[in-house]
């Protein structure tokens, strides 16, 4: 595997999802459906019984292990509670793509509603960015977010990404009207200008 199965930050354990996480994740998705559904794909936000959710997490793990995409659960380091998710998706000019034909990485993330505004999304996205910048043949890193999701857009802004455009896109659920996605870009040359990790705690978090 190209990506490590585990990352750590000052407050977070960020690790590859496992089927055994389903029991703990199921009530979190059920409690946060209204919070998450407007912003992330329904196949990820949809509440499900633990057995069906375990199969979904098995699919995520299989994609991780074959380097198609890397989805990580975000866990509080002090309690091991699930607080969200951060992902790295290989992309090229056609969209998401196998890593061997990708030239950039997209980062995605979500948090439980009750842990937002504490800097966790930024801390996790910073760890994902650090990882993305170590991957071979990656020219840039992107974050895409609905332009209505002001809190989510605070994360790339805080990490030194540049807003390079806003594009039309399909809604995240079948039948949704078209939305507009902000595209934020980070080039490896911007690394020297990034803020120190200790400055991230006051940021308004995304999702």
For residue range 33-89, list pLDDT tens digits in order.
Answer: 999 988 988 888 989 999 999 999 999 999 999 999 999 999 999 999 999 999 999
**Is residue 102 in a domain?**
yes
Distance CA 134, CA 111 (A): 25
Q: Which residues pair with 73 in a beta bridge?
A: 15, 85
CA distances for 171 relative to 39, 41, 175, 201, angstroms: 9, 8, 8, 31
CB atoms within 10 A of CB 129: 22
Residue 189: band (very low, low, confident or very high) from pLDDT cuts 50, 70, 90? confident
Give the model's pLDDT for residue 84.
98
**Is residue 70 in a domain?**
yes
> Total domain count for the chain?
1
Provide the domain limits for residue 97: 6-199
CATH code for position 14:
3.40.630.30
**Is residue 93 in a domain?**
yes
Give the model's pLDDT for residue 120.
98
Give the model's pLDDT for residue 9.
98
Nearest to 13 by CA among 67, 70, 86, 64: 86
- Given a cut of 80, whether residue 194 has pLDDT beyond it is no
């Amino acid at each position: 595997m190209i990506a490590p199965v585990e990352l750590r930050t000052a407050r977070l354990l960020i690790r590859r999802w496992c089927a055994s996480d389903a029991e703990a994740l199921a009530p979190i998705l059920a409690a946060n459906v209204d919070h998450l559904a407007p912003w992330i794909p329904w196949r990820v936000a949809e509440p499900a019984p633990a057995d069906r959710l375990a199969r979904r997490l098995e699919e995520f793990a299989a994609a991780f292990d074959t380097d198609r995409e890397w989805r990580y659960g975000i866990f509080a380091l002090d309690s091991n509670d699930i607080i969200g998710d951060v992902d790295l998706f290989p992309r090229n000019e056609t969209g998401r793509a196998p890593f061997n034909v990708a030239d950039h990485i997209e980062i995605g993330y979500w948090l439980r509603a009750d842990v937002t505004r504490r800097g966790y999304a930024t801390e996790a996205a910073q760890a994902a960015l650090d990882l993305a910048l170590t991957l071979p043949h990656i020219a840039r890193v992107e974050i895409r977010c609905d332009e209505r999701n002001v809190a989510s857009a605070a994360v790339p802004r805080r990490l030194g990404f540049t807003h390079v455009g806003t594009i039309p896109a399909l809604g995240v659920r079948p039948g949704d009207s078209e939305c507009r996605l902000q595209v934020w870009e980070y080039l490896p040359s911007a690394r020297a200008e990034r803020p120190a990790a200790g400055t991230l705690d006051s940021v308004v978090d995304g999702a």
